[in-house]
Structures are given as C-alpha cells and as structure tokens.
Structure 1
Amino acid sequence: MTIELRPLTAADAEAHCAGEDALTVRWLTGGYGDVEGTIKFFEQLTQNATTGTGKRGFGIWNSDRLCGYIDYTPDLDDGLDPEDVALAYAVHPWARGQGIAVQAVHLICNTLRTTKTGTRAAIRVEPQNTASVRVAQKSGFTYIRDFPSNRDTHPDGTPTTFSLYLLDL
C-alpha cells in the first residue's frame, strides 16, 4: 500500500468530517467539525502554506480515498525547543491498523527535511493514547520525557500531560 499527502481543499471537507469519530475528537480535535468550519480551517492551512507561517496540514490519501489528516506546526512552543516541529495526525476508523499513520509521518518528515523546516520532528502524545505512542515508536522517534502542557487542559481544567517523542531531521 502506498499513500500520499495532498493539501486539503473545500471539496475534501465532507469526507474529512465523515472520518471523525470519538477517538479523533478525544485525542486530536476536542470536538466534531462541520463542513463549513472545516472549509475555513482548510483555507487557513492554505494561507499558512502560502505565507510560510503557522500550521500546515495535508490529507492522507490511499487509492484516491481520503483516509486521514496530518499536520506540522513549526512554531509551537508548548514543551518544545525553538527548532522542533510538532506533528499531529489522525486516521479515519476504516483505515486504522494498516500502518497508514506511520507512512504519513515518514512522508511529512521527508517534507520537513526537503524544505529545511526545523531540526527535529516532535510528536506530543498523551501517554494513554497507545495507538499514537506506537506510531511514534514505529516511526523511529525517541521518547524524551513527560511534561504538563502550558496550553492544553482537560475538561476539569487540569493541564494535559504529554509524552514527548523526537526524531532528528
């Protein structure tokens, strides 16, 4: 199986929203998206790519079917050093367990190397998110430490604890 990453467009918003489930909401988004809001988010990602600032996101495609999402944020400072680039990803339920996230992480790291963006890729993951921990490990990332977030909180207001995994680019 070969996957590819492509910038997301308004035409992808419905399939993107349809791929969200309770695990996506729990570990990544914090809430279900709607098509209108998703289109605005994709437009912001396109603008960020144009200006070379902020989060850049891509659809993960397998045989011309959208099967997930991956992004990178070069300026996230929550638990990261200045040259670290944060990665985040989600795979649609029907495509999980096939190694798609690991392939997508490899592809996005190649993009970071090619564009000379950052010196290390970083995956910040809640330790209880065992699937994402496995992706970090299978992608060759090294566990560094756990830390309390200075931005993300649980519904009760307590800081989210993340495990930090890094990979030299």
Structure 2
Amino acid sequence: MTIELKPLTAADAEAHCAGEDELTVRWLTGGYGDVEGTAGYFEELAANAAAGVGKRGLGIWKDGRLCGYVDYTPDLADGIEPDDVALAYGVHPWARGQGVAVEAVRLICDVLRADVVGKRAAIRVEPENTASVRVAQKAGFRYVRDYPSSRDTQPDGTPTIFSLYLLDL
C-alpha cells in the first residue's frame, strides 16, 4: 500500500464529494459538499499554501486513487497553544480500517517538520469518535485533556467537548 499526500485541485472535487458519507459529515464537515463549492474551497487552500498562511489541505492518495483529505491550521486558537498546529482528516469509506489515516497523519507531520510549521501537532477529537482517537494514539500522539470548544457547538447549542492529543514536531 502506497499512501501519498498531494495538493488538491478543482479536478479532484468530484471524487472528494463522492467519498463523503454520514461519518464524514458527522465528524468533519457538518454537511455534504457540492462539486462547485468544493472546487472553490480547494482553490482557497491552494492560495493559502502559496501565501504560507491559514489552513492548508492535501488529498490523501492510496495506490494512485484519492481516498481522503488532511489539513492543518497553524493559527487555530481553540484549546491549543499558539505554536500548536491543528490537524483534521477524513478517509473515504472504501479506504477505512487500512491504516490510511494513521499514515496520512504521519506524513502531514513530516511536512510540518520540513516546513518548520509549529512546535507540536494537535488532534482535537470528540471522545465519541473512537476511530479518530485510535488514529491519534497509533500515530504516537499523547492525550492531554478534554475541554469545551470556544467555537464549535453541538446541534443543541452546547459547546463541543474535544479530547486534545499532541505530538512534538
């Protein structure tokens, strides 16, 4: 199995949207994307990468096929320290349970080290998202604490509770 991270382009939007399911919506996006909006979002991520600011995202490719997404946000100020870099990821259903997310997290951490972005990688995960908790643990992150988000809320309006996992870069 070969896992690679590559910049996403507008041409990848259709395959990306086709890989969304209930779990992707529940834990990552909050709603299903459409091809046009997703293509625009990928262009924003590319512009951020070119400028070296804000959230940057990459596609996860398994054996040459798009199978997910990973991003990093170096300036998120919700429960993490200023030098921490927040990671988020999602894997399409057909590629789950194969170690893809763990390898993608390891690869994005290599990117952060090479580009000298932040001092620690941070995974903020709802404790009920047991698959993502396992990814953090298998990728070598250490559990730090649970905390209420200052920006994310549940459908009933209460703050989302996140478990924070950190890895020194």
The reply on whether 1:55 has 2:59 as its aligned counterpart is no
Q: Deviations over 1:94-120 (max 9, x none)?
A: 000000000000000000000000000
| 1:40 aligned counterpart, secondary structure | helix
How far apart in 2 are the matches of 1:31 and 1:63?
28
CA drift at 1:133? 0.1
Report what 2:87 is aligned to.
Answer: 87
The reply on whether 1:40 has 2:26 as its aligned counterpart is no
Report what 1:138 is aligned to.
Answer: 138
Report what 1:157 is aligned to.
Answer: 157
CA drift at 1:64? 1.2
| TM-score, scaled to structure 2 | 0.99
CA drift at 1:86? 0.2
Report what 1:100 is aligned to.
Answer: 100
Report what 1:21 is aligned to.
Answer: 21
Q: What's the C-alpha RMSD, in Å, of the aligned pairs? A: 0.4
Structure 1 counterpart of 2:47, one-letter code: Q
Q: Percent identity?
A: 77
- Deviating beyond 4 angstroms after TM superposition, the runs of 4 or more aligned structure 1 residues are none
Structure 2 counterpart of 1:95, one-letter code: A
How far apart in 1 are the matches of 2:6 and 2:26?
25
Q: Deviations over 1:109-134 (max 9, x none)?
A: 00000000000000000000000000
| 2:122 aligned counterpart, secondary structure | strand
| 1:88 aligned counterpart, secondary structure | strand
Structure 2 counterpart of 1:69, one-letter code: Y
How far apart in 2 are the matches of 1:66 and 1:50?
22
Structure 2 counterpart of 1:43, one-letter code: E
Structure 2 counterpart of 1:17, one-letter code: C
How far apart in 2 are the matches of 1:52 and 1:65?
27
| 1:42 aligned counterpart, secondary structure | helix
| Structure 1 gap ranges (5+) | none
Report what 1:115 is aligned to.
Answer: 115
Structure 1 counterpart of 2:7, one-letter code: P
